[in-house]
Amino acid sequence: MNLAFPFRFDARGRSAESDDPRHVRELIEQLLFTAPGERVMRPTFGTGVAHLLFAPNSPELAGATQMLVQSALQQWLGELITVQAVRIEAQDSTLCVLVQYALRSGEIVAERFERPGAGA
Protein backbone atom coordinates (compact mmCIF):
# COMPACT_ATOMS: atom_id res chain seq x y z
CA MET A 1 0.00 0.00 0.00
CA ASN A 2 0.99 3.61 -0.60
CA LEU A 3 0.16 6.90 1.12
CA ALA A 4 -2.96 8.50 -0.33
CA PHE A 5 -2.86 11.81 -2.16
CA PRO A 6 -3.84 14.33 -1.04
CA PHE A 7 -2.55 13.35 2.39
CA ARG A 8 -5.39 12.67 4.81
CA PHE A 9 -6.37 10.49 7.72
CA ASP A 10 -8.57 7.41 7.47
CA ALA A 11 -11.44 6.43 9.80
CA ARG A 12 -8.94 4.90 12.26
CA GLY A 13 -6.99 8.15 12.56
CA ARG A 14 -4.03 6.78 10.61
CA SER A 15 -2.51 7.99 7.35
CA ALA A 16 -4.86 7.01 4.52
CA GLU A 17 -3.51 4.53 2.00
CA SER A 18 -4.15 3.79 -1.68
CA ASP A 19 -3.92 0.54 -3.59
CA ASP A 20 -1.54 0.45 -6.57
CA PRO A 21 -3.98 1.48 -9.37
CA ARG A 22 -5.35 4.35 -7.27
CA HIS A 23 -1.82 5.41 -6.31
CA VAL A 24 -0.78 5.59 -9.98
CA ARG A 25 -3.82 7.80 -10.68
CA GLU A 26 -2.81 10.07 -7.81
CA LEU A 27 0.77 10.27 -9.12
CA ILE A 28 -0.52 11.29 -12.57
CA GLU A 29 -2.71 13.98 -11.00
CA GLN A 30 0.27 15.36 -9.07
CA LEU A 31 2.40 15.44 -12.22
CA LEU A 32 -0.27 17.10 -14.36
CA PHE A 33 -1.14 19.92 -11.99
CA THR A 34 2.30 20.72 -10.59
CA ALA A 35 4.09 23.60 -12.25
CA PRO A 36 7.76 23.08 -13.13
CA GLY A 37 9.85 24.74 -10.43
CA GLU A 38 7.21 24.21 -7.75
CA ARG A 39 9.08 21.33 -6.09
CA VAL A 40 12.39 22.29 -4.52
CA MET A 41 14.25 19.00 -4.94
CA ARG A 42 12.69 18.24 -8.35
CA PRO A 43 12.60 21.52 -10.28
CA THR A 44 11.71 19.87 -13.61
CA PHE A 45 8.82 17.83 -12.16
CA GLY A 46 5.40 18.87 -13.48
CA THR A 47 3.73 20.00 -16.67
CA GLY A 48 2.24 23.41 -15.96
CA VAL A 49 -0.97 22.61 -17.87
CA ALA A 50 -3.03 24.58 -15.34
CA HIS A 51 -1.53 27.77 -16.84
CA LEU A 52 -3.00 26.85 -20.22
CA LEU A 53 -6.56 27.35 -19.02
CA PHE A 54 -6.37 31.03 -19.95
CA ALA A 55 -4.20 30.66 -23.06
CA PRO A 56 -5.74 31.28 -26.49
CA ASN A 57 -7.07 28.04 -27.94
CA SER A 58 -5.50 26.74 -31.14
CA PRO A 59 -4.67 23.39 -32.75
CA GLU A 60 -0.97 24.17 -32.38
CA LEU A 61 -1.28 24.80 -28.64
CA ALA A 62 -3.34 21.62 -28.20
CA GLY A 63 -0.71 19.56 -30.05
CA ALA A 64 2.19 21.08 -28.12
CA THR A 65 0.39 20.54 -24.81
CA GLN A 66 -0.41 16.95 -25.68
CA MET A 67 3.27 16.28 -26.41
CA LEU A 68 4.34 18.09 -23.22
CA VAL A 69 2.02 15.97 -21.06
CA GLN A 70 2.89 12.72 -22.80
CA SER A 71 6.64 13.29 -22.48
CA ALA A 72 6.32 14.27 -18.78
CA LEU A 73 4.29 11.12 -18.09
CA GLN A 74 6.91 8.98 -19.82
CA GLN A 75 9.81 10.72 -18.07
CA TRP A 76 8.45 10.64 -14.52
CA LEU A 77 6.11 7.62 -14.52
CA GLY A 78 7.51 5.49 -17.33
CA GLU A 79 8.45 2.72 -14.89
CA LEU A 80 4.82 2.42 -13.75
CA ILE A 81 2.75 3.03 -16.89
CA THR A 82 2.79 2.96 -20.67
CA VAL A 83 1.02 6.03 -22.05
CA GLN A 84 -1.37 5.18 -24.89
CA ALA A 85 -3.22 8.45 -25.47
CA VAL A 86 -3.47 11.99 -24.10
CA ARG A 87 -6.19 14.52 -24.91
CA ILE A 88 -6.48 18.08 -23.56
CA GLU A 89 -9.80 19.93 -23.45
CA ALA A 90 -10.73 23.39 -22.15
CA GLN A 91 -14.41 23.50 -21.24
CA ASP A 92 -15.60 26.89 -19.96
CA SER A 93 -13.43 27.52 -16.88
CA THR A 94 -12.28 23.90 -16.46
CA LEU A 95 -9.22 22.22 -17.92
CA CYS A 96 -9.73 18.51 -18.65
CA VAL A 97 -6.89 16.11 -19.34
CA LEU A 98 -7.82 12.66 -20.58
CA VAL A 99 -5.10 10.03 -20.25
CA GLN A 100 -5.26 6.42 -21.38
CA TYR A 101 -2.47 4.22 -20.08
CA ALA A 102 -1.54 0.63 -19.35
CA LEU A 103 -0.37 -0.42 -15.92
CA ARG A 104 2.56 -2.80 -15.72
CA SER A 105 0.03 -5.50 -14.81
CA GLY A 106 -1.42 -5.08 -18.31
CA GLU A 107 -4.65 -3.40 -17.17
CA ILE A 108 -5.75 -0.57 -19.51
CA VAL A 109 -7.01 2.51 -17.69
CA ALA A 110 -8.63 5.70 -19.01
CA GLU A 111 -8.81 8.57 -16.54
CA ARG A 112 -10.16 12.11 -16.68
CA PHE A 113 -8.37 14.77 -14.66
CA GLU A 114 -9.99 18.17 -14.13
CA ARG A 115 -8.83 21.41 -12.66
CA PRO A 116 -11.20 24.36 -12.32
CA GLY A 117 -9.91 27.77 -13.33
CA ALA A 118 -9.55 30.75 -11.02
CA GLY A 119 -13.11 31.90 -11.68
CA ALA A 120 -14.71 28.55 -10.92
Q: What is the pLDDT of residues 78-92, one digit of tens each?
A: 999 999 999 987 766
With cut-offs at 50, 70 and 90, classify the pLDDT of residue 119.
very low
Residue 68 is which amino acid?
Answer: L
Its sign, for the CA torsion 16, 95, 100, 28, is negative
Quote the pLDDT of residue 48. 81
Alpha helices in 33-108 (DSSP H): 59-77
Q: Which of 72, 73, 119 is nearest to 94 (CA)?
A: 119
Mean of pLDDT over the chain: 83
The ranges assigned to domains in the chain are 2-6+14-116
Q: Give CATH for domain 2-6+14-116.
A: 3.10.450.40
Residue 71 pLDDT exceeds 90: yes
Averaged pLDDT, 61-75: 87
